[in-house]
């Protein structure tokens, strides 16, 4: 079975930084596109950043210039470096990926369990 597990969330002051990690594990053959989302209370889930298997990235306007998505294919890991954090960044952050299992003929979309990020003084 394939799983995505996020880590690195926590409480940080405005202007601070956090680095989130998401590790894929299990009997997987390959990982395709990966992305980071967030969801604040009472709001819809928002796409923040996207990265292809070749490293091409895209960002939402709300985080452009502050957040950086990257991946280490050898470690089956995607990262989200978050700098200059603002109170409005407070949300549960989720990792998402399209993954092909070892015995699978097609890719399947997976979500991590989420990690809480709170930006407050």
- For the segment 53-97, what is each residue's pLDDT rounded down to a tens digit? 999 999 999 999 999 999 999 999 999 999 999 999 999 999 999
pLDDT at 23 over 90: yes
- Has residue 103 got a pLDDT over 90? no
Identify whether the C-beta of residue 72 lies closer than 8 Å to the C-beta of residue 13: no
Structure tokens at 24: 């894929």
| pLDDT at residue 105 greater than cutoff 90 | no
The set of residues, in sequence order, having a beta carbon less than 8 Å from that of 74 and lying 6+ positions away, is: none
Query: In the prediction, which pLDDT does 1 show?
Result: 85
Query: In the structure encoding, which two tokens stand for residue 88, read together?
Result: 């409005």
pLDDT value for 45: 97
Closest CA to 115 of 27, 42, 12, 33: 12
The whole-angstrom separation of Cα 102 and Cα 39 is 31
């Amino acid at each position: 079975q394939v799983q995505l597990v996020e880590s690195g969330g926590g409480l940080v002051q405005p202007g601070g930084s956090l680095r989130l990690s998401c590790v894929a594990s299990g009997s997987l053959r390959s990982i395709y596109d990966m992305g980071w989302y967030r969801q604040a209370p009472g709001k819809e889930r928002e796409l923040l950043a996207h990265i292809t298997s070749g490293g091409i990235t895209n960002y939402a306007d709300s985080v452009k210039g502050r957040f950086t998505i990257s991946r280490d294919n050898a470690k089956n890991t995607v990262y989200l470096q978050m700098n200059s954090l603002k109170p409005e960044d407070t949300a549960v952050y989720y990792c998402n990926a399209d993954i092909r299992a070892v015995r699978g003929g097609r890719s399947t979309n997976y979500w991590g369990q989420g990690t809480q990020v709170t930006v407050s003084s």
